């Protein structure tokens, strides 16, 4: 491992923020080194976004097989090989990680395996077990060390009975009963996944609705659909503690004055994350940290010149696409370009359950609290031809528009491929498109995207198909 070599940019962390920042910086003519202690791609690619979607896809295929009679196809006998599904998800993650390694070589980026820490604002020490430490000199440093699962008192994870999402995606067998603590996107996705395989699910959420960050109406729709499928939902419920026993786990919950105990094979803790800010030399370099997150400005600059921080380590929203966008922003900013700061009001949120949930912009409640004169339009998927043809009629599109200027304030989708449909709204908001212009845009038929046009039409009193 080289010692004393100088790079224009040193990136600490190889996740979706770090590796994107490295590539973009190299494209702009910088010499770049990236330091990562594990596989390139970070939690998202290796243990989060991508492998969970592979598992969720397998559960969707299982759903199709179990309901094949709906499509005129009888499959009376079939076998589930959950181990093979897990192996497939690991292969998908491994392939993409190797793809990132290739991109490092393609862009002449020096990839160093090890742990990085700041010695000074312009010096990064790299340590690796069995090797002498190396000191890199840097014109700029980008901190992209991510976050890890939050651990709360009484919910200590042992990796066997009380687990994080990482262990939950590589279980050796399908559990008979799973208690999921936290009904955000991660909790809801695992509830959807394992219920399809026959697991009895208990989804526990402290707030009044599952997916509490989403529009309340959409959350209620998903909650109702989950309950119809047999998923047990406990909202407005606190988890007091979890006990890992030899053959099971006991989760103590309370709601109001009532207390009870849930027994399960596995308890999944999905209550949030905390930033990886320890042992980075932040204090030595003078970087300001507040409430466990690195403080940055609109260009992701820290309180120290030439030091940037991106992704989960700077706080919410903890989304891979946000980290990647910040990576591009920082690479361009330190290279002397003039990038526009990211509009954090225009960040899509996606949940890949069945049905999917996606949103962008204000919820109805937020728009009302902001004092907008607004119109709300809704279009049910039961009235969409393609959704019906595909046997996926659950869900709706909901839009919130400003009555005065026609601004598209927010869109909330629950249904088949909602996470793909939301991109249209992203482009519309970036271009400051009005709802009238969406109505004037001819949408192909039959497509799911017609539901967006129809929801906007309903908001304006022009709905055709409802």
Q: Is 55 helix (H, G, I), strand (E, B) or coil?
A: helix
Which of 140, 333, 445, 465 is catalytic? The answer is 445
Closest CA to 264 of 209, 194, 211, 210: 194
Is the peptide bond between 152 and the residue preceding it cis, with omega within 30 degrees of 0?
Answer: no
Q: Are 116 and 1 in contact (CB under 8 A)?
A: no
d(CA 126, CA 35): 7
Q: Are 377 and 401 in contact (CB under 8 A)?
A: yes
Query: Cα 186 to the chain's mean position, in Å?
Result: 8
The verdict on whether 445 is a catalytic residue reads: yes
DSSP string, 186-240: HHHHHHHHHHHTT-EEEEE-SSSSSSTTS-HHHHHHHHHHHHHHT-EEE-S-EEE
d(CA 359, CA 382): 20
Q: Are 37 and 119 in contact (CB under 8 A)?
A: no
Question: Which stretches of 240-363 are DSSP H helices?
Answer: 282-285, 320-334
In angstroms, the Cα distances linking 146 to 183, 184, 270, 297, 315 are 22, 19, 17, 18, 9
The residue with tokens 């497939």 is 88
Q: Are 234 and 373 in contact (CB under 8 A)?
A: no
Provide φ and ψ at 394, rounded to 5°.
Answer: -75, 140
Q: Active-site positions?
A: 445
């Amino acid at each position: 491992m080289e010692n004393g070599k100088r790079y224009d940019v040193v990136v600490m962390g190889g996740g979706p923020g770090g590796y994107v920042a490295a590539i973009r910086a190299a494209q702009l003519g910088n010499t770049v080194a990236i330091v990562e202690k594990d596989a390139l791609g970070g939690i998202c690619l290796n243990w989060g976004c991508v492998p969970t979607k592979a598992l969720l896809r397998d559960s969707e295929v299982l759903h199709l097989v179990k309901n094949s009679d709906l499509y005129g196809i009888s499959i009376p006998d079939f076998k589930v090989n959950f181990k093979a599904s897990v192996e497939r998800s690991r292969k998908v993650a491994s392939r993409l990680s190797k793809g990132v390694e290739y991109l490092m070589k393609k862009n002449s980026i020096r990839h160093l395996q090890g742990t990085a820490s700041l010695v000074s604002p312009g010096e990064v020490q790299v340590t690796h077990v069995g090797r002498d430490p190396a000191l890199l000199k840097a014109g700029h440093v980008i901190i992209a060390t991510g976050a890890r699962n939050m651990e709360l008192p009484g919910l200590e994870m042992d990796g066997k009975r009380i687990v994080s999402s990482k262990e939950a995606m590589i279980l050796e067998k399908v559990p008979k009963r799973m208690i999921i603590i936290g009904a955000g996107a991660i909790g809801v996705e695992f509830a959807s996944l394992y219920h399809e395989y026959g697991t009895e699910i208990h989804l526990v959420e402290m707030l009044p609705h599952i997916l509490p960050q989403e529009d309340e109406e959409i959350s209620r729709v998903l909650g109702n659909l989950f309950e119809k499928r047999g998923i047990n939902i406990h909202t407005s419920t606190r988890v007091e503690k979890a006990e890992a026993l030899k053959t099971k786990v006991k989760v103590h919950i309370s709601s109001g004055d009532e207390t009870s105990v849930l027994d399960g094979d596995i308890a999944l803790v999905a209550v949030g994350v905390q930033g990886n800010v320890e042992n980075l030399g932040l204090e030595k370099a003078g970087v300001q940290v507040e409430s466990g997150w690195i403080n940055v400005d609109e260009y992701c600059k820290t309180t120290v010149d030439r030091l940037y921080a991106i992704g989960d380590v700077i706080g919410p929203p903890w989304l891979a696409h946000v980290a990647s966008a910040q990576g591009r922003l920082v690479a361009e900013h330190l290279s002397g370009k003039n990038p526009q700061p990211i509009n954090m009001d225009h960040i899509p949120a996606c949940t890949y359950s069945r049905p999917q949930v996606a949103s962008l912009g204000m919820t109805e409640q937020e728009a009302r609290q902001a004092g907008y004169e607004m119109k709300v339009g809704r279009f049910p998927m039961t009235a969409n031809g393609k959704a019906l043809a595909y046997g996926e009629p659950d869900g709706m599109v909901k839009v919130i528009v400003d009555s005065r200027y026609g601004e598209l304030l927010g869109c909330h989708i629950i249904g088949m491929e909602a996470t793909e449909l939301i991109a249209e709204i992203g482009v519309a908001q970036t271009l400051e498109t009005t709802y009238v212009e969406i109505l004037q845009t001819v949408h192909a038929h039959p497509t799911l995207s017609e539901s967006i046009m129809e929801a906007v039409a309903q908001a304006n009193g022009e709905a055709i198909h409802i």
